[in-house]
Amino acid sequence: MTPFLKQTGKTLFSLALTFLGLLIVTFIIARVVPVDPVTAILGERATGEQIAEMRAKLGLDDPIWKQFGIYLWDVIHFDLGTSIRTREPVLEEVGRYFPATLELSTLATIFGVLFGVPAGVLGATRPGSVFDQFTRLFGLIGYSVPVFWLSLIGLLLFYGQLGWVGGPGRLDSMYDMMYDMKVPAVTHMILIDTALAGEWDMWRNAVSHIILPAGILAWLSMAYISRMTRSFMMNEMGQEYITTARVKGMPEGRVIWVHGLRNTMVPLITVIALSYAYLLEGAVLTETIFAWPGLGRYITDALLIGDMPAVLGGTIVVGAVYIGLNMLSDILYRLADPRAR
């Protein structure tokens, strides 16, 4: 067996074990939370006969190992259960809500990387300068101030007072009514679908709505990425190969942006992946304040009414995203650093 196949096998086994652990945790949560699924489905006035029939239907009278086996079998076959609130399959509902979170978090991460990495590099090459102090202060504010406060202030200032951006939601009410009729749902991400449909007025309206929540999340992402990039770069700039490159007369820009930054890519990939994963599952407050119909808001609303199949289904999807991003990071390690192959 070649080293590549051996390493790939180890990675896949590790991912499978991690996913199994996730399923065990969610299964235990479903059994210990003080929410009776039978009462949630049938209501408080259900008869004893109806309760017994529903318990048998849900398999709640089976041994715990058999219940977990059924749960594992269903998840492997992409059956996350049925929502108590809507009576629809949870996987279909997650498929409608997750693209909104994916669109918002992806845009925020792109902004965070585009601004955070250069800011961290420049701060590391000019430690103590005015730019470095400003970047660190700007990042500290973004990292420390509660996101719900930033969101409320942003809405009050840029939407309420200045009118520079759109308000809560993904579209104005006028475009929202036309969206389903005029735009085919190819990806369920408004910016992409409206562009594919050539609805540029609707696209501009969608941009005006997403720019503020994405900008706030990008600030949080940039604060983390710039701080870690600065730390990685300061460590690299003190290495002997950097001194050797300078002694040989290599241009400073090449020393910094090619040699220095390239050797920070492996830890930096991890930082960016973790930041992206955090935004995908941690944008609950932002989605709530901006009335953004994303996965975080879906899980929160389900939790408030005790819709545990929806909560657990959303949690499994979030966990799968983390696992997928870890796998992607591992692949990118090997592309960025030949020593990891």
| Structure-derived torsion over alpha carbons of residues 219, 225, 231, 237, reported in degrees to the nearest 10 | -110
Domain boundary among 46, 76, 106: 76
Statement to judge: residues 41 and 175 lie in one domain: no
Q: Does any domain span residue 100?
A: yes
Domain boundary among 76, 103, 122: 76
**Count of domains for the chain:** 2
For residue 187, the SS3 value is: coil
pLDDT tens-digit readout, 124-141: 888 888 888 888 888 888
Please give the full DSSP string across 21-59, using - where no structure is assigned: HHHHHHHHHHHHSS--HHHHHH-TT--HHHHHHHHHHHT
Question: Which residues, other chains included, contact 138 with Cβ-Cβ below 8 Å and sequence gap of 6+?
Answer: 223
Q: Does any domain span residue 83?
A: no
Domain boundary among 49, 76, 103: 76
Statement to judge: residues 171 and 55 lie in one domain: no
Q: For residue 73, count other CB atoms closer than 10 A to its CB.
A: 10
Q: Which domain holds residue 41?
A: 3-76
Asked whether the beta carbons of 190 and 292 are under 8 A apart, the reply is: no
DSSP H or E stretch at residue 246: helix 240-247
What pLDDT was estimated at residue 255? 80
Q: What are phi and psi of 82, to 5 degrees?
A: -120, 135
Q: Does any domain span residue 322?
A: yes
DSSP H or E stretch at residue 73: helix 64-76
Q: Does any domain span residue 118?
A: yes
Statement to judge: residues 256 and 226 lie in one domain: yes
Q: Does any domain span residue 84?
A: no
Statement to judge: residues 70 and 96 lie in one domain: no
pLDDT tens-digit readout, 192-244: 888 888 888 889 988 999 999 999 999 888 988 988 888 888 888 877 887 88
Statement to judge: residues 191 and 56 lie in one domain: no
Q: Does any domain span residue 81?
A: no
Statement to judge: residues 222 and 186 lie in one domain: yes
Statement to judge: residues 10 and 101 lie in one domain: no
Statement to judge: residues 116 and 59 lie in one domain: no
pTM, entire model: 0.81
What pLDDT was estimated at residue 298? 85
Nearest to 264 by CA among 225, 233, 296: 233
Statement to judge: residues 244 and 206 lie in one domain: yes
Asked whether the beta carbons of 285 and 155 are under 8 A apart, the reply is: no
Statement to judge: residues 288 and 159 lie in one domain: yes
Q: Which residues of the chain have pLDDT under 70?
A: 1-5, 7-8, 30, 32-51, 53-62, 281-282, 336-341
Can you give the CATH number for the domain in which 279 is found? 1.10.3720.10
Q: Does any domain span residue 247?
A: yes
Q: Does any domain span residue 85?
A: no
Statement to judge: residues 111 and 223 lie in one domain: yes
Counting Cα atoms < 13 Å in the Cβ hemisphere of 144 gives 6
Statement to judge: residues 65 and 168 lie in one domain: no
